[in-house]
Amino acid sequence: MSTSGPLPPHVAEVLSEAGWTQSWRADTSRWRDAFVDDGVDAHPAALEFLEKFGGLSVSISGPGITCARTPFAFDPALCDGEGDRFADWSAELGVRLFPIGELDNGHFFLGIDEYGVIYLVADWIARFGMWPEALDALVRGIQPETVAE
């Protein structure tokens, strides 16, 4: 399932400032089986997203639209030791969450479901939306919708 589409210019600009290019292709092999022991499998939407953005770290800050703009990084290794958290939320929500990185210097984790929806994952969970929309929310500082606490 491809959820790709053109990124809004302001999102592409911020990602480009962090080193991203349209031709960015990350090797996802190191992340595929990282959380299998926790019952969390990499699905096609996660692998597609990580191929396009894996390894990218964006250092932004300041006021946003509905919340502060905070740094984020797309690297599942930043979620090491949290596989059970993703497995638990997956079971509760009935989706297959896969870790994709962190938000706000590790205060929150980021995950993606099999449909391409990106979530903030903590002791509570919130939805940013499909990944093109989610990248816009992360870049502009738009608070995700709380799904469960």
pLDDT of the residue at 6: 79
Using CA of residue 17, residue 125, residue 95, residue 43, what is the dihedral sign?
positive
CA distances from 11 to 95, 124, 131, 143 (A): 27, 26, 12, 16
Give Cα 115 to chain centroid, integer Å: 13
Whole-angstrom Cα distance, residue 73 to residue 109? 9
Taking the chain (149 residues) in runs of 10, the rounded mean pLDDT of each run is: 71 96 95 91 96 98 97 98 96 98 98 98 98 96 97
Burial of residue 88, with CB atoms counted within 10 A of its CB: 0-12 exposed, 13-18 middle, 19 or more buried: middle
pLDDT of the residue at 3: 52
Q: Is the separation of the CB atoms in 112 and 98 below 8 Å?
A: yes
Helix, strand, coil percent content, the chain, rounded in steps of 5 = 35, 20, 45
Sorted by where each begins, the domain ranges of the chain are 9-148
